[in-house]
Amino acid sequence: MANRWNNTFTRADITPEPLWLNRRAVLAGMAGAGALGGAVAAQEALVPNTWEEITTYNNFYEFGTGKTDPSDNAGDMVTDPWEITIDGLVDNPGTFALSDLIADMTMEERLYRFRCVEAWSMVIPWNGFELADLLEKAGVQSGATHVAFETAVLPDVMPGVRRNVIDFPYVEGLRLDEAMHPLTIMATGIYDRPLANQSGAPIRLVVPWKYGFKSIKSIVRITLTDEQPATTWNKISDREYGFYSNVNPEVDHPRWSQASERMIGGGLFSSRQDTLMFNGYPEVASLYDGMDLTTNY
Amino acid sequence: MIDTINTVARKIPTWLVYLLYVLPIPYFFYSAQTGGMGVEPINALEREMGQITLQLIIIGLAITPLRKYLGLNLLKFRRAIGVLAFSYVVVHLGIWVLLDMNLRWGQMWADIWKRPYITIGMVAFLMMIPLAITSNNLSVRKLGGATWRKLHKLMYLIAPLGAVHFIMVQKVWEVEPMLYLVVILALLATRYKPSRKTAGARAGG
């Protein structure tokens, strides 16, 4: 089932590889690329952020609540070896070495928009595989309706866990059809490098049409269930963070507007852009046919 | 020790205090634009300016109790501190309007009415305007000392509102903004005078 979704352009089309470490050079290069002008302009919104931007502005409360806490504190987490437990309504439950589990998955690059509930965004060139393929391998039983995910809890290397800044483990969940959607991936890398610890190494979920907190990091457990699983931010404030948490410019967070967002990387004078319904992935709209997205936020 | 500080303080011209706080502003902008404040400099700068505003408000509120309880006299700097607090909040608000919201007036207007933390911040800002306008000798003379002092007690409202604004902008309960509120409430508590009746009863007892 891999390769069910493709970028119109890949990173190679729009970013000369030596330049992706330095966004300013990329932008300067674009300005000078007259011949490529049309194609480049069309994809301007999807210029990937630099590795530095992607790895120094993170939310990963296990390592602290500040934006640079994860990059400052996540270095001691050991991500190899890593085990994932797959349980619940599956034919092949068990605890697996990550390397065995993903050995036969088809790795792809997916250049996705990433929209945080805090109204900032990035564009990230993920490497990963479709979650659907992993679920197929696990053998989803017919009664399963939802997938629950859980992040590692490693107090020795996670200062945020020691301080109990929120209730851990961090848990997230998807409806089974959302989990099976071709856009939903399990990422193991960015820019063809292994994920940085602060980005959720060694393996994380990426659901590009939902707010970033749904894309749970450093996963140790995947459970197939027949009920809607609890999710961390929903437990913290169900008025502010719903189970679905689809990017939706029409439904505001009670404390701030979701109508627009700021793309990270433009410096002091970067301009705000309008937030797109489903973060610009209209192909997922049919998953929510007949649902009131104002109440199912 | 206190006497020495008072003697030194008397010799420090107030313009030096202004300079000490005004000079960093262009530096903060330079640092933000050149990567010194991380990859999301707008939010970082906005918060930094807001936080310094609150710090200045705290310093301003500390001057009276410092004199009353420690004999430390920094009264001559109070106007400078107040004017600087207003200057920082103007920069803070300016960053929000120009750099953060990009003059999206519709969204800003909606936010002011709909988002309690922005409403509170805006109310606190508006209350600071009359204080800034009357921060000169002419206004003190025109209003009369008693009225002027009464007007400037608005700070007792502005300060906690500012701290609440800071607490509410966080996604979870963070320690640092709570500390700002605690310090402000403690400084306000030092001004609490038992009513005459209670004081009389106590004296009588």
**Residue B187: pLDDT band by 50, 70, 90 thresholds?**
very high
Higher-scoring residue by pLDDT: A111, A43: A111
The rounded distance, in Å, linking the Cα atoms of B94 and B160 is 22
What is the chain A residue with the closest CA to B36? A267
Residue B174 and residue B51 in contact, taking contact as beta carbons nearer than 8 Å: no
CB contact under 8 A, A252 and B114: yes
- Give the total number of structural domains in chain B: 1
CA closest to A253 among chain B residues: B115
Task: Identify the CA nearest to A1 among candidates A116, A136, A127, A144.
Answer: A136
H-run or E-run covering B196 = helix B196-204
Q: What is the pLDDT of residues A43-77, one digit of tens each?
A: 445 899 999 999 999 999 999 999 999 999 999 99
Mutation pick from B33, B39, B51, B108 vs chain A, by most beta carbons of A within 10 Å, is: B39
pTM of the predicted protein model? 0.85
Residue B172 lies in a domain: yes
The reported pLDDT for the residue numbered A34 is 39
Rounded to whole angstroms, the Cα distance separating B203 from B34 reads 63
Question: Which chain A residues are within 8 Å of B117, Cβ to Cβ?
Answer: 255
How far off is chain B from A16, nearest CA to CA, in Å? 21
For residue A284, give both structure tokens: 């997922």
Residues of chain B above pLDDT 90, percent = 86
Residue B98 within any structural domain of the chain: yes
Is the predicted pLDDT of residue B203 greater than 90, yes or no?
no
What is the β-pairing status of strands A146-151 and A171-175? antiparallel
B39, B107, B115: residue with CB nearest A260: B107
Instruction: For chain A, list the domains and their CATH numbers.
Output: 11-288 (3.90.420.10)
pLDDT-derived band at B64 (thresholds 50, 70, 90) equals very high
The dihedrals phi and psi of A45, each to the nearest 5 degrees, come to -70, -20
Question: Which among A146, A153, A138, A142 is positioned nearest to A87, based on CA atoms?
Answer: A138
Instruction: Give residue B81's domain range.
Output: 2-191
In a domain, B200, yes or no: no
Backbone angles phi, psi at B37, to 5 degrees: -115, 25
- Residue B9 CB partners (closer than 8 Å, separation 6+): B73, B74, B76, B77
- Residue A283: DSSP 8-state: G
Among B111, B169, B172, beta carbon nearest to A166: B172
**Is residue B202 domain-resident?**
no
Nearest to A65 by CA among B54, B36, B176, B117: B176
Do residue A57 and residue B40 have CB atoms under 8 angstroms apart?
Answer: yes
> Residue A125 belongs to what H/E stretch?
strand A120-130
- Which chain B positions have a beta carbon within 8 Å of A269's beta carbon? 33, 99
Q: Is the per-residue pLDDT at B73 higher than 70? A: yes
Q: In the structure encoding, which two tokens stand for residue A8, read together?
A: 């119109």
**Element of type H or E holding A113:** strand A108-115
Say how many C-beta atoms besides its own lie within 10 A of residue A29's C-beta: 15
- Domain assignment present for B52: yes
ipTM of the complex: 0.80
Instruction: Output the six-digit token pair for B129.
Output: 């305007």
- pLDDT > 90? residue A82: yes
